[in-house]
Amino acid sequence: MLKFGLSIPRQGEDFDRVLDSTDELELKYIDLRAIGDKNVVDLSDSEAQEIRNLVKKHGAKVCSISPFLFFRLPLTKGDDEVTIRGSYSEHLNMLNRALELARVFDTNIVRCFSFETEFIFSHCGYKGLPFDIWGKIVERLQKAARIAEAAGVILALENCCWCNLGTGFLVAKAIDEIGSKNLRLWWDPANSVMASGENPYPDEYEQVKDYIVSIDMRDEIIDRRYNYWSHVAMGQGNKLNWTDIFQALIRDNYQGVILLESTYIPEGGTIFDGAKESFSKVRQMLASLK
């Protein structure tokens, strides 16, 4: 049986409302990104314990922590050079705090990203730059992976169209080169479409399925000709056949969590109305597979 959960993407959301939504939608898993206006890694020990108890009270479980590690962090800056998104050294400190919190929340997955896309990826390589971009990505992620490995935690690298490794193919390539069993793929099929313009199922899925530890679920109307996309409820997009993806995950006995990334907000409604609409469609998809 597939496991589903909820991931609220923005700081400022009412966490009590998030928990109420898990009750309403009969979900058992939560990806922790923020609590109110705080990044999850900024929680104190006492606050983290309070959140843990509150989640447990609702019969749910924190399946992962997502503190936006390395998200759009420039690669061209030195380790200690501060940018609008902090410095690489500061993000390593965030990683260490996330590893501490993973123990508090009894999870073994921390999400990360592949830095700011400052240059368009080319099979011909990067030319005229002060260093090899691919090599720098591997070097910095390898250091982070070794830290996670020492803590016994999985660093889940999301393929993100806003970062260097936009497809599952590229993340899998980086994982192979880095060679850490604790660096795995957080698969976002919608990001793969937006990054490549190609449908990630079945071709990408079949090549990366053994790397996947977590999945972001959302639907989009996408037109790569105009670099356009629009968030829609599950089942209303034009590029992803989620029914087929669910069927493949069931066939392959996928054991991770599928998290609704709550980006869709219906007109006049809330992010939680969008989640309710999407999960209604997901249940219809799953019923069609029986």
Q: Which has the minimum average pLDDT: 56-65, 104-113, 119-128, 256-265?
A: 119-128
pTM reported for the whole predicted model = 0.95
pLDDT at residue 123 in the model: 47
CATH superfamily, region 3-288? Divalent-metal-dependent TIM barrel enzymes (3.20.20.150)
- In this prediction, residues 219-227 reach a mean pLDDT of 89
pLDDT at residue 225 in the model: 85
pLDDT at residue 131 in the model: 62
Mark out the alpha helices in 111-252 (DSSP H runs).
133-151, 168-178, 189-196, 203-208, 242-251
pLDDT band at 129 (very low <50, low <70, confident <90, very high): low
Return the percentage of the chain with pLDDT > 90, whole number: 82
CA 121 → CA 89, 146, 174, 200, 212, distances in Å? 25, 26, 14, 18, 23
Instruction: Please choose, from the candidates 181, 177, 198, the residue with its C-alpha nearest in 3D space to the C-alpha of residue 189.
Output: 198
Count of CB atoms situated within 10 Å of the CB of 81: 12
pLDDT at residue 10 in the model: 66
